[in-house]
Structure formats: structure tokens, C-alpha cells
Homo-oligomer: A and B are copies of this chain.
């Protein structure tokens, strides 16, 4: 007896019977929504992330065609606005389903007030590091990729050197239909580098290798020059195995802002300037109110400004 939605390992064939429980968050600028819901006949939670896709050279011809129906909403001189309804095949939506989802997934995607935290080296060792050690976040899915147990068909480039090597593959957020929103991730083979905080001059060969060979692989594969890429590290990262983001400059990717993104070339320069730059530096980053790490900072009284 098989219910297509009953097993976590199953691929969904339809959204029949899906019930929206709550809209967790939305972004009207990027046309994205985060939804908590359930499937019929299951008590498990699902988190569904839907995002409208960018137009491509191909899809635009299908949209602007006789197959499309349209409704006029305004007309003034040479300017007219319309609501247009293309055939579904030209107007897909990128969807990520996390199922079964835990309470942590739901919390992660729930819209929250955000705060800029100033993490001094002391606050890193007193708050952040103990928190990371206690939580012991699973990065099994990263090891699955590095060991070719998962997603090996998605690998764009690999340098297999254990100290300086990495695997380059498209980020889940990139649909690979056009290069304007190109988004790839380089995941290093070396284990144990949690984040920017751990980097010192011993990692310069790794960092330089990712910068140089990552750019070359992207040029060779997608014909996008290194000068059109934003290449950066997140701090805090979303997982604590060292990786680097490569996005197209035209694309203001989430997390490419000051306060989270650190350009890889700046990181290399700063470590060249001073071996322990990232152990000594106060690092600013943004945390959501419902994140565990934020609560730790809040308890220590290190978040809000006090002007009294």
C-alpha cells in the first residue's frame, strides 16, 4: 500500500492534498515565499520554499507569444500595463520541499527581527564557539557530496588534493537556465575549518587555489569571466564546513551584503597582512531573533545599544 507522500525518501509526484498551515516568511522583491504545510494523511510537517524563476532567452519568447492571454490594467498614451498569463511551461516556479521538516527547519524559515551582532574575539570564545560545540550541527550532507555519495552528477569541477582541493557545484538556489544569476559553491576537501574565524596563513594555498581554479572552471564551463563574479565567504556561515560562494555580479544574491559577505580576495589580503587577522578582528554579522546563537548573545547583554 503506497501513499506517494508517506516516505521521506520518496520523490513527490504531485501536490494533491497539500494544506498550507502558515506562511512563515515572504520576500516581495525576490518573489519568494516560505510555507509551512502538511500532506493529507500525514502528521509530519513540511516546509515548502517557492520562488518565481527569472526569465530566460527561451522562456521570454514563449511568454510574449500568441499563446499568452492578457488583461489590460492601464492605458496612457504610448504606455499600457497588462496582467499576462502565459502557458505553464513558460512560467515555472522553483520549489524546494523539506519533508519531513523539524521544528528547527520551521524556525529557520520563519521571518524574524534581525540584529547586527559585534563578535569580539572574546565573545567568539565565550559564546559562539561553545554554542557551536554544544549544538554539533550535522554536516553529513556535505560529506555525502565530498565522498560522491550524493550529487556527484552535479559536480562542475574537482581538485582532489586533500589540503588545497575542493569540489565546485551549483548552489541549490541556481536553476542553471541563465548565467545572470549564476551561483556556485566551492566546498573544500579539508575537514575541520569551521569558518572565517579559523583561517590563518596556513590556509592561504587553499584560499588562493579556490579563487584561481574556481574562476577558471567557471570561465571554462559557463563562459563567465572572473571579473564578473562576486566571490565571498559568509560569516556566520549556514554550515560549519569551509566553503566559498561564487555569484554573478548582476545578481544581488541573498547574503551578499556587508555584514555577512567577506570577499575572498579581501580575506587573502588581510591574512597576508597579519596571520591572525581573523582571530583578532571583531566580526559583525546579522542574526535573526529566533536563532539559538542570537539568544546566547542576548543573554549576555551584548546586542542592543545602550545610550542611557
A binding-site residues for B, Cβ under 8 Å: 8-9, 11-18, 20, 23, 26-33, 35, 37, 48, 50, 52-55, 57, 60-61, 63-66, 68-70, 72, 74-89, 91-101, 113-118, 141, 144, 150-151, 154, 172, 178, 180-181, 215-216, 219, 225-230, 232, 248-254, 256-259, 261-263, 265-266, 269, 273-274, 280-282, 284, 286, 303-305, 307
- Asked if B99 and A93 sit within 8 Å, CB to CB, the answer is no
Contact, CB under 8 Å: B85 / A219: no
Residues of chain B within 8 A (CB-CB) of A304 are 225-227
A249 near B258: Cβ-Cβ < 8 Å: no
- CB atoms of A249 and B81 under 8 A apart: no
- Please, which residues of chain B bring their CB within 8 A of the CB of A35? 60, 64
Known contacts A15-B68, A116-B226, A116-B230, then 10 further A-B pairs from the complex at CB < 8 Å, ordered by chain A residue: A13-B70, A27-B250, A29-B29, A31-B54, A52-B52, A79-B141, A219-B307, A227-B305, A263-B284, A265-B282
- Could you tell me if A92 and B85 are in contact, using CB atoms closer than 8 angstroms? yes
Contacts A92-B85, A228-B115, A257-B258; is A97 near B68 (CB within 8 Å)? no
**Chain A to chain B contacts (Cβ below 8 Å), 8 pairs:** A28-B180, A32-B55, A80-B96, A114-B250, A115-B227, A219-B305, A226-B304, A232-B258
Whether B83 pairs with A95 at a CB distance below 8 angstroms is yes
Cα distance A222–B304 in the bound complex, in angstroms = 15
CA gap between A180 and B263 in the complex, in Å: 27
